[in-house]
Amino acid sequence: MNVDDAIMHRHSTRAFLDKEVTIEQISHILAIASHSPSGANSQPWQVAIISGESKKRLQSKLELAFTNGIKPSPDYQYYPKTWNEPYHSRRIKCGLQLYQSLAINKQDTEQRQAQWQANYRAFDAPVMLLFFIDDVMEAGSLLDYGMFIQSLMLAAQEQGLATCPQAALSDYPDIAKQELGYTTDLKLIAGMALGYEDANAAVNTYRTTREPLSNFCHFFN
């Protein structure tokens, strides 16, 4: 698979097969991703790889917090507090596509809640990744981290694995840190589901659209 194909065919997967991903596979794609660029070669990424009983314990605690109505308290603000255009419309369209693929209508709040809750199980993927960063690092290191995460997803694509990067997995950082033994001087910035795609699941069939170059590029000669 060439780079163009990997980028074009990668998509966020929300239903996975009950099929093991080996430690060797995970180590391989992480080693590839570790070659991502970072300012001053700081390599700010720290990754928790969670599977098996450890994943069951953590996701149970995350789900319990959600179902008990505990308000998320992430280590940083991921989304804007106010959604302006064109971002508001893009967000609404993305959500509509997701729920339409699942045949969940706007009034079915119970099913919508159940689908959101699946975030905290990493959509039942066999592997959950959590991405931590030292809290002394600044915004530039988040740019570095984004390149690392993209490299990780493309390396997974090359190995026939599917991914879904997830902001929701950073909703309850205190729970994750306590369960995994991470210290409070680390920020939890995101998570990821990793496994083999269930190609027959309807939720995996929809694709978000992309803006034409004319909407975001300005060429200067």
Question: How many of the other CB atoms lie within 10 Å of CB of 61?
Answer: 16
* Whole-number Å distance between alpha carbons of 168 and 190: 7
Per-position b or e across 98-134, b if 16+ CB within 10 A of its CB: bbebbebeeeeeeebeebeebbbbbbbbbbbbbbbbe
* Residue pLDDT, tens place only, 61-90: 999 999 999 999 999 999 999 999 999 999
* Residue pLDDT, tens place only, 1-35: 789 999 989 999 999 999 999 999 999 999 999 99
* Whole-number Å distance between alpha carbons of 63 and 42: 34
Domain residues of the chain, as ranges?
Answer: 3-78+120-200
* Residue pLDDT, tens place only, 172-207: 999 999 999 999 999 999 999 999 999 999 999 999
pLDDT at 100 over 90: no
What CATH number does the domain located at 3-78+120-200 have?
3.40.109.10
Closest CA to 129 of 158, 159, 162: 162
Alpha helices (H) along 34-184? 52-67, 87-101, 109-117, 139-158, 173-180
What count of residues does the chain have?
221
Q: What is the pTM of this model?
A: 0.95
Average pLDDT, the chain: 95
